[in-house]
Copies of this chain bind each other. A is one copy, B any other.
Amino acid sequence: MNAISNPSLFFFLLSIPTFQNRFPYYEDNPAFYAAHLKKHHAFKVNGCDAVLGYILNSAVAKFHWPAEHWAVDSTNQTVTLNTAADATPEERSKVMAETLAAEAKRGNFEILKGWRNEKYPVYAPGGKFLLDMERCASPLFGIVSYGVHGTCYVEDEQGMQFWVPRRAKTKQTYPSMLDNSVAGGMSTSERPFECLVREAEEEASLPEDVVRATAKSVGCVSYFYVRDSRAGGEVDLLQPEVEYVYDIKLSRDIVPKPSDGEVEEFKLYTVEETKKALANGEFKPNCAVVFIDFFIRHGILTPENEPDYFQILTRMHRRFEFPTASHFAN
């Protein structure tokens, strides 16, 4: 077991403004939680009781909600997509797409300038697919998004080392920051493992057969991410995220390489170097969470060497106020 030089990585994580803990917990202070919720409208869809996300009040005010499709209730602080209660997902998605396209054209939202032509899904309780929306708009609605993170590492007589990529300077979000070996968002109808295989090829040039043979599903992390300026676009938008996590143990002869221009280079980091980079804030924040999960599962962070061990574990497995997806392949 490695001793850890910095006694609490988490203390550092808590201190960085973008970390998931800016969105409060009810159980810590019910009044503070209620006051914080008041800064948002609940995003709802006609025919479904559940709250699907939180929209910042300032975004509600600035956004144009066509009255034939949307109901904004400023007393109850809700924004409801008013399609028929028995509308199909396609019908709801079409209205959403038209609303977002018009808003993007209007040009009032920085975040909509990062249009990606990729769709993110929204689910009702029980995991029922409700609709999807352009990926870059998801933080405007504060919906739960899903992704995969794979940590490539080698472990032999030279010890444990991680394949850490540096994001390209030209990336829209978190330019030049350190990242996880393989990471990506899951579009509508994509499955976690298939997403991992695709991203590993696209981002790290890892052959499909290697990933299928070596990647091991090891859990997921979930957190309430609050966007800051490094994420690009409007700040304080909410991004609750579920990231499925994979360990990818590689032999020394398999070397990840940039392929799609999103990554500048891959370098091998020792455990100590990784901890130092984490403590210096060099990692994209959600990648730091995935590394800390790795450190916990591999006995590097322990209850005896990390004062906030229990807090870390519960905070990186946050349960949401919103319905979530099942990615069961039935």
Contact = CB atoms under 8 A, between A and B. Distances in A.
Interface of A: 1, 7, 25-27, 127, 191-193, 216-220, 222, 242, 244, 296-299, 302-311, 313-321, 324-330
Nearest to A329: B304
A81 B144 CA distance: 43
A37 B107 CA distance: 48
A158 to B, nearest CB: 20
A187 to B, nearest CB: 15
B315 A328 contact: no
A318 B314 CA distance: 6
A299 B26 CA distance: 33
A127 B303 CA distance: 13
Contact of A313 (B191, B220, B296): B220
22 contacts: A7-B328, A26-B26, A27-B321, A127-B307, A191-B303, A191-B304, A192-B303, A193-B303, A216-B298, A216-B299, A218-B298, A219-B297, A220-B309, A304-B328, A306-B328, A307-B326, A309-B327, A309-B328, A310-B324, A310-B326, A314-B317, A316-B317
Report which residue of A308, A309, A330 has the largest number of chain B beta carbons within 10 angstroms of its beta carbon: A309
> How many copies of this chain?
2
Report which residue of A311, A319, A326 has the largest number of chain B beta carbons within 10 angstroms of its beta carbon: A319
Nearest to A302: B217
Contacts of A222: 310, 313-314
B242 A319 contact: no
Contact of A303 (B220, B298, B330): B220
A319 to B, nearest CB: 4
A308 B326 contact: yes
B25 A303 contact: no
A323 to B, nearest CB: 11
Contacts of A306: 328
A182 to B, nearest CB: 16
A326 B11 CA distance: 13
A277 B27 CA distance: 35
Contacts of A319: 25, 27, 314-315
A1 B217 CA distance: 9
